[in-house]
Amino acid sequence: MKLYRFLSGPDDSSFCHKVTAALNKGWQLQGSPTYAFDAETKTMRCGQAVVKDVEYVEYEPGIKLSEY
């Protein structure tokens, strides 16, 4: 099964740590990161898609992606 997640967060070290943690759990970067201005909070936001192949598990909508 291939899993997909979109990680997002503020443009600070917490976002980098979130992506780093995912990479260390076996997730791989998918595509280019995104960067956008949040007009409501007047801050920059980052986003990055990650994917992971998991064997011997069937996909079901209720799975918690962050547990993989």
- Reported as a single tens digit per residue, the pLDDT across 56-68 is 989 999 999 888 8
CB 60, CB 27: distance < 8 Å? no
46 DSSP assignment: E
pLDDT of residue 20: 97
For residue 13, what are the CA distances in angstroms to 2, 30, 31?
A: 28, 20, 20
Q: Tokens standing for 33?
A: 């990161």
Q: Tokens standing for 54?
A: 């998991």
- Digit-coded pLDDT (tens) for 34-44: 999 999 999 99
Full set of structural domains in the chain with CATH: 2-67 (3.30.70)
